[in-house]
Structure 1
Amino acid sequence: MEHQSTLGFSLQLHILLSLALSLASFTTVTATSEEEGQFVYSGFSGSTDLTLDGTATVTPDGVLKLTNGTVHLKGHAFYPTPWQFSKSPNGVVQSFSIIFVFGMVPVYSDQCTDGMTFFISPTKDFSGAQTSQYLGLLNITNDGKSSNHIFAVELDSSQNTEFKDIDDNHVGININSLTSTEARPAGFYDDKNNGVFNSLSLVSRKEMQVWVDYDGDTTQINVTLAPLKVAKPLMPLVSTTKNLSTVLQDQSYVGFSASTGPIDSLYCVLGWSLGINRPAPDIDITKLPKLPRIGPKPQSKVLEIVLPIATAIFIFLVGTTIILLVRRRMRYAELHEDWEDEYGPHRFSYKDLFHATQGFHDANLLGRGGFGKVYKGVLPVSKLEVAVKRVSHESKQGIKEFIAEIVSIGRIRHRNIVQLLGYCRRKGELLLVYDYMSNGSLDKYLYLQEEEEHKPTLDWARRFEIIKGVASGLFYLHERWEKVVIHRDIKASNVLLDSEMNGRLGDFGLSRLYDHGTDPQTTRVVGTMGYFAPELARTGKATPLTDVYAFGIFILEVTCGRRPIIDSNQAEEVGSDILIDWVVEHWSKGSLADTLDMRLQGSNCNLDEVCLALKLGLLCAHPFGNVRPSMRQVMQYLDGEMLLPELMPTNVSYSMMAVMQNDGFSQYTSLTDTVSSNGVTSSLSTGR
């Protein structure tokens, strides 16, 4: 039993020793000993013995905040009990030493107003002290009075001329007044650099350490300042001689004061120690809390390097994006003027046409001509197949009228006319949008290339139906629609074939229109060589009869499978380079049917229809307009409702050379210099 009792007592003793050690380790943050004449606070966490007033608080992590970031307020913190600075009443003040770590934190700027002090005072009642430049220590009535019995070290972050401050960043020794007995700009003498003076900014948001030493024998007062991790410099910052026995009372309180002016500021104390007749204990800086971070955080070195690079990359990316967007906008830029708004439903966006044709890719190219290229496209929303013709143009004053006519023609509806859906205008070009004709243009079937030999030859029945279809469409344009439309470019390549091989007259890019009963206006000659009516060169006036002339050439072209004008090499084989003269020559010889396309000869063709077509073509292409039939009459001839007039080749001359020379068209002689007169020109003199 005695052995068990001994074991129990040992266990209790062990537990008590463990608790004692734990308590001792806790009090290393705050250890005091008034009997030994010293104390030390390495942070204020868990310290409940300080006396605080005003805005002073202790944060949970151990920072003594004398102010809280509000303006025109003050705060105080005191060691709770007074200290005996003299050994006997009215005796000599003993030597003492104070160390404290502080930090000033500006809230919204790089300035703090007004400052803080460490002080020794006979009282803890500072309710009458003023804020701002009085630092919560004195007021306007008691400043400078010897009855204050106050010794203070000020850390002043504002310059006040009434107290003769040297600047807004200084450390001063004060006796009963806010006018410093001695003051110096904040800084320290660097022992590692031969004592060179280094300036410090009190409001740098960095921790600093202050040493205040008083020698009771020499009455020397020294104040030293340094960054937190720099050892105490050998040379003090501020030094003066003053016998504090005439200032301090036997028992006095030690503490801190601070006040704010018109700018929010935080004044903080992180550690504090005192020693009387001995050095103040060192503060363990490894246990100090961190200064609160308010406002902009200091940038790290990495951020200083990365941020400019990131900013440059961001600016580059933004600039590149803007350039791409501008280029994209320019890529799809269109010309648009207010007067075009009335044609809104007929205008396509360039962007839609661009995507419809896959960027006008060559894979979608349907054909090309003197006025531009034609591409197949599929509109992105409606999925409608269209043909898009890019027509180059110079922006001249007639463009408005031209677009107005294009839009007007877009209202035409006829089974033998390719529907013009609308247009788009850009700088330097027009885009005309048509219904897509799946079988392409007629000329590709009339003049097969070597690589197109697989295409079927159009038989005569289909060719005759195409001639009748084009005639029907042209009759509608001349007489049946609300205005007279002159196509001005009738030819095989402008006749398109739909999915059922029906002929449709297309490409109205050169068309002109005017009201019924009025004369067309004079304009420049446009069209395709070989289809010009002779009078065009003289008058420059396109009329329905000039369209009839081109239609006559078109009939001969479809029937004979020959172009209106061929090169001299081919002319040697067939006998003439002018189609109409070649047909007239065969007519005069009585071999008119021999002009039928050789690919159709020997087939089951209706020769009556062939001869009808050839004679009608010659009649329509008569050199004199007053001899040509109207398109109404052409329809009657083709439908068998009216017989062709009896014309003999000996009574009519189609020699283009003779006609042009007699009409003054010498500029065209180069085209017909290989054509003979055929000896039948005399009978035309009465027809002029």
Structure 2
Amino acid sequence: MVPPANLITAIFFALLVFPVISIAQKPTTFSYHIFNETHHNVFKSLGVASIDGGALQITLDTINANVSLSYNSGRIMYNKPFKLWEKTASSSGGNSPDIVASFNSTFLINIFREEGWAGGEGIAFVIAPDLSFPSGSDGEWLGLTNKTLDGDPSNQIVAIELDTEIQDFDPDGNHIGLDINSVKSNKTVSLSDFDIEISPVNPKNYTVWVEYNGTTKVMDVYMIEQWMPKPSSPVLSETINLKDYVNQYSYMGFAASTGEQVQLNCVLEWDLTVESLPEKKDWKGVKIGVGVGVPVVILLLICWAWLLYYWLKRRVADDPNILGKLKSLPGMPREFSYRDLKKATNNFDEKLKLGQGGFGVVYKGVFPKENIEVAVKKFSREKMKGIDDFLAELSIINRLRHKHLVRLLGWCHQKGRLLLVYEYMPNGSLDNHLFGGASGRSTLRWDCRYKILADVASALHYLHNECDEKVVHRDLKASNIMLDSNYNARLGDFGLARALDNEKTSYAELDGFPGTFGYIAPESFHTGKATRESDVFGFGAVVLEVVCGQRPWTKIEGFELLVNWVWSLHREGRMLEAVDESLGKDYVDGEAEKLLLLGLACSHPMGRERPRAKEILQIITGSMSAPHVPPFKPPFVWASMDPIASSSYSASGSSPPCVTPENTSTAFSLV
């Protein structure tokens, strides 16, 4: 059924003739999780600032000895202004409360300094009236003002500074401050009180939230190390009416500087949402239009909405294109009815919930008449980009045939509901056996652990090399490895998987690289691409997890990550001390050492140095010797050129490439 064309025409005519006041303005928002050369049209770089290495480099980003990092400054601003306030007046001629826009600016920073650098001067989130840049703003001026302009109300600047160099007016060299037209902060807070060091010797990424409430006029700033949850309390909170200090139309961005002491000031990600304020209008015509036209328009809209809802409902339920695509897939498995799946899962009872997948929730289902148990994945509409996500997963899984992949039994698409039906795995996920879930932890025997890794290696080799259309899984982790009744491993959850075109070696995400922390390869944070090498990195994390009985992000003996601890034990010749204590002595020394070396090799910070899936399988099955692993974990260096997508790997090992300041553009390290 198609809505009548004359009715739609009448509705749009009514909307044009009778002005309607919009009750809620849609906020302006953007999200950048990686920056590249295409963003030069989006951001304005001022001073020495640049967009390089997948990030906003607010000051020079090189460690080339021939380039001076001292006494420079820069800004990078979003190149479109935001309307931040609107002055209002009451009908009696008195003043009514000003309308000030709320906003939320969330960004990820890395302030890098080499050993021996003291660190200085600082970086700031800034609201400025234009895209100009003051000369002489290096050193203590943070790229915000200079000796002449500092404190001048005409600056119309408000900033949140993260200062790493103490001045006469600062509490210390590690503080946050609210700046108004001056680098002499109106309020400062020492971050040492929160166990935060802006520019530590060992580089860290920090997430910063700058939240402004236009109603209460309160500015709150939160800060914590990357991957940690947002704190419940801000590190800085201050009342400020932005209307009193900034231009009505202002720009937002970042400023930074260095002085005698230097550091690399880098913004890795930026999410911004700014409330949209309406423009002033001549309300006389609007009042007339509202009084005469609104009732008619409302009536027409109700009719139109009802017809459109009915039409869309019928279209989604019976779309021949969608159903045709599904049914035309070669060897397409069984189509289930929604009613049957609802009954099998007891109306998707929470007690039957097995876990959460890439785009939905998985439930256990039972068909008593057929005496079969299934796992039903119910896609979450709010997490899906559309039908394409469902079709992508279904089309990929449908083509895969391997004994160590979870088997797809069927599908359901009715009335906009999207579901997949898998073979049920009675022993749940590897994750639950290693770390315990609702049923508690169970100790897997060593021979079982070794076989599980061999099974997953076989499945990974199939995905990368043997199936008709090569596939990268993109979310290889212990919770996505399922165990059947005989503890054979099955790799599942292809909600993030994508097939690789024959001529390509990676799949790029427009909105950043998805996955799970601890299993994501360091290069994927910068390229936004999933490759065979990033899958291998995830497998390496699983290997160490299985052998050590510890999660990849476990902090142990002063090390932030499990892999770093294992690498230190390897260097000291004590690697077998990493084996899961719950196993006691019930493991094979040679096999444990081989797997730990393999886990480290797969975790190499440089993707081209990791073994391929075929070589991993050969190492585990014994047809290839254990890999050589250097005693010290090599550094991750983000090169200006694209990383090599595929490379050979030798069991005898290979040294990482010689990296010099001249051929790198490094602002931070993930070592």
TM-score (norm 2): 0.45
Query: Which gives a bigger RCO, structure 1 or 2 (Cα 8 Å, sep 6+)?
Result: 2
